[in-house]
Chain A
Amino acid sequence: MSNCNAATPAKQAAADANITPEVLQQFLARLMEIQRHYAFEFRSVKGDRQSEVIELVNKFAAKELNAK
């Protein structure tokens, strides 16, 4: 294995992407909207919900973190 420091280039990329506390709070609010939407569903919704969460991460990263 190569000698990796804590701040790898990829970590740096994430840091550059500026995941600030404010961005995280905004993201969490959107995530909880999805969770609330599915909260009272009896039928198995795990797959749909997880897909929506992945989609949310994608959208959020592209829009708020400029990681297209």
Chain B
Amino acid sequence: MKLKLIRLNNFRQFYGQQELPLSTDPDRNVTLIHAENGVGKTTILNSVMWCFYGTTTKKFEKPDDIVNYAAAEEGATTASVEVVFEHEGATYSAQRRHKQNDKKNESSLTVHLIKDGVYQHLDAEDSFINSVVPKEMARYFFFDGEHAETFSAEGNYKEVGQAIRNMLGCHIAQTGIDDLAQAAKYFNQQIGNLPGEIELNAYEQRLLEIDETREKLKIQRDECISEKEALEAQIDSILKKLRVAEGAQEIQKQRDERSRELAEVAAQLKTAEQSVIKWIGTRAYSLVARKLTTETLSFIDEASLKGRIPSPYNEEFVKGMSAVETCVCGRPLHPETEEWKCVAELLKSASTAEVQGRVVRARGRISTLKEFRKDAPKLLENAQQSIASLVEKRRRLEVRIGELSKQLEGAPLKDIAEKEKAYQELSRKLAATNQRLGILSGNVNRHNRLYEDIEKEIDFLAGKSGKAKRFVVRRDLAQRAADLLRALLQQHQMLAKAEITKLINDILIKTARRDYTFNFADNFGLELFFADGRAVPRSSGENQLMSLAFIAALVQFSSSRTQESGNSVLIPGTVAPLVLDSPFGQLDKQYRVDTARFVPALASQVVLLVSSSQGDKDVVDTLRKHVDLEFVLISENKGSRGEKSSDLIAVRGKEIATSIFNCERNRTRIERIQ
């Protein structure tokens, strides 16, 4: 897809009807728009988003104020944006009209195919636009660079993970999983609603109650996890700063070492405590049952000595004599004779092979217990000594860490002391959050178990009911399909992560001045490292570069997925223009130039919105050979200049005033630079 023209009508700062044609030239693919802050760069970016989807970027101020103020004062109640674009060889017009009423704002989208200058109306306009550039992917093509920290800042890994999932086109699979969960729930309800199944109905009601409570707990737990992660990220950020801060470096290094030792000791302590629990399970009863084992063993031994255990007669031997009706001595054993009765009497005390085996096993087991009893006290003593020693070691380490923390808190440099105080405060909050998380997780697990138990109970009862079985099969089909879909998504995400990592590192090799390595943290956070493995501080321009590289990689990743198979669980990627507002943000001059060098290659059409401080001569000169169309947004003001500066910018050898005064009305005007 390529944008051909944006036509604004009383939209935000843009009074009246104004047009912005965009370059569709494959070689000179850049449209460059200069504007100072507050004049309308972000509005241009958002005009396309608003036209296509009726939404704007997150940080777009007053998103409901659509109609230009000056036009509204003159009685206008409507505004519109028309975007003319090419897609797969055809030209289309998308137009969103906004009507401002006293009570509510309304907007509607119409889409036309333009054929030989004739507009042909298309139905299902939203679906069509979404098939050209899915809404979930659009925000990465229409990107506000001023807020690039959305990706690189601490704790914003969720945005990163979401961006990857969106560009991967996961959302239909995700709704599939949600629908299957809903279907499983529906079939469970059907089981519970079967007429005449009172017990099943009661269990189903209970299941619903547990599910409701469990969902509430899960939300609380997820909030707690977010809170914990945010606190950890803040703590991590402070520690990173202390590790490099003059006056704190050495103390922090020692604290890091002691903290590592403390973590090791904590792990050893856990093992030692577990060994005591194991001792209780395997050895403690040998001591408790001392009297019982001694007496039992004595009894078996004595009975064995007296020939009572095992019994001197074997059951099979006695039965054999009765069967052949002949005694072992050769005398006949006719049934019901005195001899026969004597032999039959022997069966009462005759032993079987099983009884003999049991006696042997019981003896062996009791003998083992006797052995266990011998070393049980020593083992417990060793474990207790180990625990005591580890507890003492932990205490000493905690004291030492406390001393080091005090040193940092009392550091002569105010900045270090403040950071340390913040660290302490955050650590306290983290401890409390962890405790809360433990309770919530325990509660969720308990409800999971309760749910499973009741589900099993329902299964059990349903199994007896022919009517219920059909619903169980349906529910299981839905559940197992959801599990499979989840596993497939997970697999795709891992592959996407690896692919995007490679793309980002390729971009960094081309643009960064030093050797950096990019990697995703396990939780999707973006991480940039120096060649020696140290983390690059997040406030740096390098991280702005990393965010841009991430966006660039997402765009490339999306275009590599346009041929995604029709059978896939993913929506195919798309090729769309890259519209970047203030992409050079915090970059220093050299990085701005380096970035300007690679930006035109990121997409087949690039629209750059830059202020004079970002789009300086060097940047523009670097971009020049790729720029086809160039514009300036001029702020026209009703008021007089007064003390305000003239805001001149130099473009193509001309000086242009970006603010002019004593105008008929306040508005922004789009002026093309020839």
Q: Is the CB of A61 within 8 A of B127?
A: no
Contacts A10-B460, A40-B130, A53-B180; is A32 near B477 (CB within 8 Å)? no
Give A1-12 as 1s and 0s: 1 = Cβ < 8 Å from B's Cβ atoms: 110100011111
Contacts of A14 in B (CB 8 A): 472-473, 476-477
Q: Is the CB of B453 within 8 A of A53?
A: no
Task: Please classify the interface of chain B as helix (H, G, I), strand (E, B), loop, or mixed, using the class held by over half of its residues.
Answer: helix
Q: Is the CB of B474 within 8 A of A61?
A: yes
Contacts A8-B460, A31-B176, A40-B131; is A13 near B469 (CB within 8 Å)? yes
CA distance A67 to B183 in the complex (A): 16
Contacts of B187 in A (CB 8 A): 57
Contacts A17-B473, A39-B171, A40-B126; is A32 near B567 (CB within 8 Å)? yes
Chain B's closest residue to A16 (CB) is B473
Q: Is the CB of A13 within 8 A of B183?
A: no
Asked if B321 is an interface residue, CB under 8 A from chain A, the answer is: no
Chain B nearest CB, measured from A31 CB (Å): 5
Q: Is the CB of B183 within 8 A of A50?
A: yes
Q: Is the CB of A39 within 8 A of B567?
A: no
Chain A nearest CB, measured from B183 CB (Å): 5
Chain B's closest residue to A15 (CB) is B476
Q: Is the CB of A24 within 8 A of B176?
A: no
Give B465-483 as 1s and 0s: 1 = Cβ < 8 Å from A's Cβ atoms: 0001110111011101100
Q: Is the CB of A9 within 8 A of B474?
A: no
Contacts of B453 in A (CB 8 A): 1, 4
Q: Is the CB of B485 within 8 A of A19?
A: no
CA distance A35 to B187 in the complex (A): 20
Q: Which of B131, B476, B478 has the largest number of chain A CB atoms within 10 A?
A: B476
Give B114-152 as 1s and 0s: 1 = Cβ < 8 Å from A's Cβ atoms: 000000000000111111001000000000000000000
Chain A nearest CB, measured from B103 CB (Å): 22
Give B445-465 as 1s and 0s: 1 = Cβ < 8 Å from A's Cβ atoms: 000000001001111101110
Q: In the complex, which residues 28-43 of chain A have their Cβ closer than 8 Å to any Cβ of chain B?
A: 28-29, 31-32, 35-36, 38-43
- Which of B173, B175, B460, B481 is in CB contact (< 8 Å) with A27? B481
CA distance A51 to B457 in the complex (A): 27
Q: Is the CB of B470 within 8 A of A67?
A: yes
Q: Is the CB of A41 within 8 A of B472?
A: no
Q: Is the CB of A57 within 8 A of B131?
A: no
Q: Is the CB of B183 within 8 A of A57?
A: yes
CA distance A66 to B172 in the complex (A): 28
Contacts of A49 in B (CB 8 A): 175, 179
Give A48-65 as 1s and 0s: 1 = Cβ < 8 Å from B's Cβ atoms: 011001100110110001
CA distance A58 to B187 in the complex (A): 10
Asked if B182 is an interface residue, CB under 8 A from chain A, the answer is: yes
- Which of B53, B127, B134, B462 is in CB contact (< 8 Å) with A10? B462
Contacts of B183 in A (CB 8 A): 50, 53-54, 57
- Which of B130, B476, B484 is in CB contact (< 8 Å) with A28? B484
Q: Which of B129, B173, B470 has the largest number of chain A CB atoms within 10 A?
A: B470
Q: Which of B128, B171, B474 has the largest number of chain A CB atoms within 10 A?
A: B474
Contacts A9-B460, A10-B459, A42-B127; is A58 near B484 (CB within 8 Å)? no
Q: Which of B131, B182, B457, B477 has the largest number of chain A CB atoms within 10 A?
A: B477
Contacts of A67 in B (CB 8 A): 469-470, 473-474
Contacts of B457 in A (CB 8 A): 1-2, 4
Q: Is the CB of A42 within 8 A of B464?
A: no
Chain B's closest residue to A62 (CB) is B470
Chain B's closest residue to A41 (CB) is B127
Q: Is the CB of A31 within 8 A of B481?
A: yes
- Which of B53, B126, B470 is in CB contact (< 8 Å) with A43? B126
CA distance A1 to B462 in the complex (A): 14
Q: Is the CB of A41 within 8 A of B126?
A: yes
Chain B's closest residue to A42 (CB) is B126
CA distance A51 to B481 in the complex (A): 17
Q: Is the CB of A61 within 8 A of B477?
A: yes
Q: Which of A2, A12, A38, A57 has the largest number of chain B CB atoms within 10 A?
A: A57
Q: Is the CB of A19 within 8 A of B172?
A: no
CA distance A1 to B457 in the complex (A): 7
Asked if B285 is an interface residue, CB under 8 A from chain A, the answer is: no
Chain B nearest CB, measured from A57 CB (Å): 5
Asked if B512 is an interface residue, CB under 8 A from chain A, the answer is: no
CA distance A1 to B461 in the complex (A): 11
Asked if B603 is an interface residue, CB under 8 A from chain A, the answer is: no
Contacts A50-B179, A57-B474, A61-B477; is A12 near B126 (CB within 8 Å)? no
Chain B nearest CB, measured from A33 CB (Å): 9
CA distance A17 to B473 in the complex (A): 7
Q: Is the CB of A4 within 8 A of B459?
A: yes
Q: Is the CB of A9 within 8 A of B463?
A: yes
Asked if B571 is an interface residue, CB under 8 A from chain A, the answer is: yes
Q: Is the CB of B172 within 8 A of A35?
A: yes
Contacts of B131 in A (CB 8 A): 40
Q: Is the CB of B569 within 8 A of A28?
A: yes
Contacts A2-B457, A32-B569; is A10 near B126 (CB within 8 Å)? no
Q: Which of B179, B462, B470, B472 has the largest number of chain A CB atoms within 10 A?
A: B179
Asked if B530 is an interface residue, CB under 8 A from chain A, the answer is: no
Contacts of A53 in B (CB 8 A): 176, 179-180, 182-183, 478
- Which of A24, A35, A43, A54 is in CB contact (< 8 Å) with B175? A35
Asked if B529 is an interface residue, CB under 8 A from chain A, the answer is: no
Asked if B186 is an interface residue, CB under 8 A from chain A, the answer is: yes
Q: Is the CB of B477 within 8 A of A10?
A: no
Chain B nearest CB, measured from A28 CB (Å): 6
Q: In the complex, which residues 563-609 of chain B have their Cβ closer than 8 Å to any Cβ of chain A?
A: 567-569, 571
CA distance A60 to B129 in the complex (A): 33
Chain A nearest CB, measured from B210 CB (Å): 13
Contacts A9-B464, A13-B463, A50-B179; is A32 near B474 (CB within 8 Å)? no
CA distance A40 to B484 in the complex (A): 24
- Across the A-B interface, give the 3 residue pairs with the lowest CB-CB distance, nearest first: A9-B463, A42-B126, A40-B130
Known: A41-B130, A57-B478, A61-B474. 10 other contacts (CB 8 A): A14-B473, A19-B477, A24-B480, A27-B481, A31-B481, A32-B176, A36-B172, A42-B126, A43-B126, A54-B183
Measured CB to CB, the residues of B under 8 A from A are 53, 126-131, 134, 171-173, 175-176, 179-180, 182-183, 186-187, 453, 456-460, 462-464, 468-470, 472-474, 476-478, 480-481, 484-485, 567-569, 571
Q: Would you list 11 pairs from A and B whose C-beta atoms are within 8 A, ordered by A residue?
A: A1-B453, A4-B456, A4-B460, A9-B464, A14-B477, A17-B476, A35-B175, A39-B171, A50-B183, A57-B474, A68-B470
